[in-house]
C-alpha cells in the first residue's frame, strides 16, 4: 500500500465520495480549502484529485470547481485502470472465490506459442489452465503462461491459491504494467466443457501481457469469461480533437 501523502488524501476523498459525504453533482471543497484541511501543498491535492478524475469519480472545471459525478448504481465487478487479481476483485464484491487447476505443465515455446503469446521461441514456460468459480459458479477459464526464470518454483498447489501472492510476497517480483486486449471469440470445446454458456456461442476474452520491474514480459494470460457475468468498466477523458 503506497504510503505517499497524496495517496492518503486520494483515498480519504474517495471514501468520502463513496459514502455519500458529497452529493452527486455537488462541488468538492476548492483546492485552497483542501490545502488547509490536509495541511499540504497545492501540488499534492491536485495529484489526489487527478487520481479521482482517472477513476471517473469527479470532474474538474476550470474556474468553477471539482464536481462529484460518482454514481453508486454503476459500481461493478471489473474496474479498469488497475491490475487486480481474481481474489482481490472477489473480496471487493464480498464474493467467495475458488480456483481449480485443470492443467499444469512445463513447456518450451514453439513457433505457434511464440506468435500467440509474444514469448521468444525456445522460452521455458509454465503453462496452466485454471477455472475460476465465484459463489459456486464457473465464470472464467484462464490460460496462463509464465516465464520459468521469473516464476521459479511454481507448483500446482500455489496455482490453486493466488499465483500473484506467490510472485509478490515470496519471489518479490514486482508487477508493474500490463497490456490488455479485449475481444469476443467463439467458444471452444474446452470452454463448452467447463463453463455453463447456455445459449451463447461466444465468450469475452481478455488477453494480457504483464511486465515486471526489469521490463521483462513474464506472463501471458488469456482469460475467457462467461459473457452473462462479464462487465468491464472504463472512464475516459477527451484530450481535444485530432
Partner DNA sequence: GCCGATTTGTCCGTATGTATC
Partner DNA sequence: CGATACATACGGACAAATCGG
Residues near a second copy, by CB under 8 A: 1-2, 25, 53, 56, 59, 61, 67, 69, 71, 74, 76, 80-83, 88, 91-92, 118, 168, 175-186, 199-204, 211, 213, 215, 227-228, 230-242
CB of 235 to a second copy, least distance (A): 6
Question: How far from 152 is each of 2, 117, 161, CA to CA, in Å?
Answer: 27, 19, 16
| Paired strand residues for 105 | 127
- With 0-12 / 13-18 / 19 or more C-beta atoms within 10 angstroms meaning exposed / middle / buried, residue 53 is middle
Picked from a second copy, DNA, none, the partner binding residue 239 (CB below 5 to 8 A depending on kind) is: a second copy
Fill in the DSSP letter of residue 27.
B
Q: Which lies closer to a second copy via its Cβ, residue 33 or residue 233?
A: 233
Q: Is the Cβ of residue 125 or residue 217 nearer to DNA in the bound state?
A: 217
- Among a second copy, DNA, none, residue 31 binds (CB under 5-8 Å by kind): DNA
**Is 189 or 199 the residue whose CB approaches a second copy more closely?**
199
For 175, half-sphere exposure in the C-beta direction (CA atoms, 13 angstrom radius) is 21
**How far apart are CB 222 and a second copy at their closest, in Å?**
14
Q: Which does 137 bind (CB under 5 to 8 A by kind): DNA, a second copy, none?
A: none
Select the binding partner of residue 94 from a second copy, DNA, none (C-beta < 5 to 8 A, by kind).
Answer: none
Separation between Cα atoms, residue 81 and residue 182, nearest integer Å: 14
Which of 188, 165, 185, 160 minimizes the C-alpha distance to 175? 165
CA neighbor of 217 nearest in space, from 169, 178, 170: 178
CB of 45 to DNA, least distance (A): 8
Residue 5's binding partner out of a second copy, DNA, none, with CB under 5 to 8 Å set by partner kind: DNA
Give which of a second copy, DNA, none residue 6 binds (C-beta under 5 to 8 Å, depending on kind). Answer: DNA
Please state the closest distance from residue 32 (CB atom) to DNA, in A. 5
CB of 218 to DNA, least distance (A): 15
Q: Which is nearer to DNA, 31 or 160 (CB)?
A: 31
Among candidate residues 189, 216, 180, the one with its CA nearest the CA of residue 79: 180
CA angle 156, 216, 205 (to 5 degrees): 60
Q: What gap in Å lies between CA 135 and CA 96, rounded to an integer? A: 5
Q: Which residues contribute to the site for DNA (CB under 7 A)?
A: 2, 4-7, 28, 30-32, 39-44, 46-47, 49, 60-66, 213
Closest CB to DNA among residues 28, 167: 28
CB 46 within 8 A of CB 31: yes
- Residue 185, CB-side half-sphere exposure with 13 Å CA sphere: 15
Grid cell listed for 121: 521461441
Amino acid at each position: 500500500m503506497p504510503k505517499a501523502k497524496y495517496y492518503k488524501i486520494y483515498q480519504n476523498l474517495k471514501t468520502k465520495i463513496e459514502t455519500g459525504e458529497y452529493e452527486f453533482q455537488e462541488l468538492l471543497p476548492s483546492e485552497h480549502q483542501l490545502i488547509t484541511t490536509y495541511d499540504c501543498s497545492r501540488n499534492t491535492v491536485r495529484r489526489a484529485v487527478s487520481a479521482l478524475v482517472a477513476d471517473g469519480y469527479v470532474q474538474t472545471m476550470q474556474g468553477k470547481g471539482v464536481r462529484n459525478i460518482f454514481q453508486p448504481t454503476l459500481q461493478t465487478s471489473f474496474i479498469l485502470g488497475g491490475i487486480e487479481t481474481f481474489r482481490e476483485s472477489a473480496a471487493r464484491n464480498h464474493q467467495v472465490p475458488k480456483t481449480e487447476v485443470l492443467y499444469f505443465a512445463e513447456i518450451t515455446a514453439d513457433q505457434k506459442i511464440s506468435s500467440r503469446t509474444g514469448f521468444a521461441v525456445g522460452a521455458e514456460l509454465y503453462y496452466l489452465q485454471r477455472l475460476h468459480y465465484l459463489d459456486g459458479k464457473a465464470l472464467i477459464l484462464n490460460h496462463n503462461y509464465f516465464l520459468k526464470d521469473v516464476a521459479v518454483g511454481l507448483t500446482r498447489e500455489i496455482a490453486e491459491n493466488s499465483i500473484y501472492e506467490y510472485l509478490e510476497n515470496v519471489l518479490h517480483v514486482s508487477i508493474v504494467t500490463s497490456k490488455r486486449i479485449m475481444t469476443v471469440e467463439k467458444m471452444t470445446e474446452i470452454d463448452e466443457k467447463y463453463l455453463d454458456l447456455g445459449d451463447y456461442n461466444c465468450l469475452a476474452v481478455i488477453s494480457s501481457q504483464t511486465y515486471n520491474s526489469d521490463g521483462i514480459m513474464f506472463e501471458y494470460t488469456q482469460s475467457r469469461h462467461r459473457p452473462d457475468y462479464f462487465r468491464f468498466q472504463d472512464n475516459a477523458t477527451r484530450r481535444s480533437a485530432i
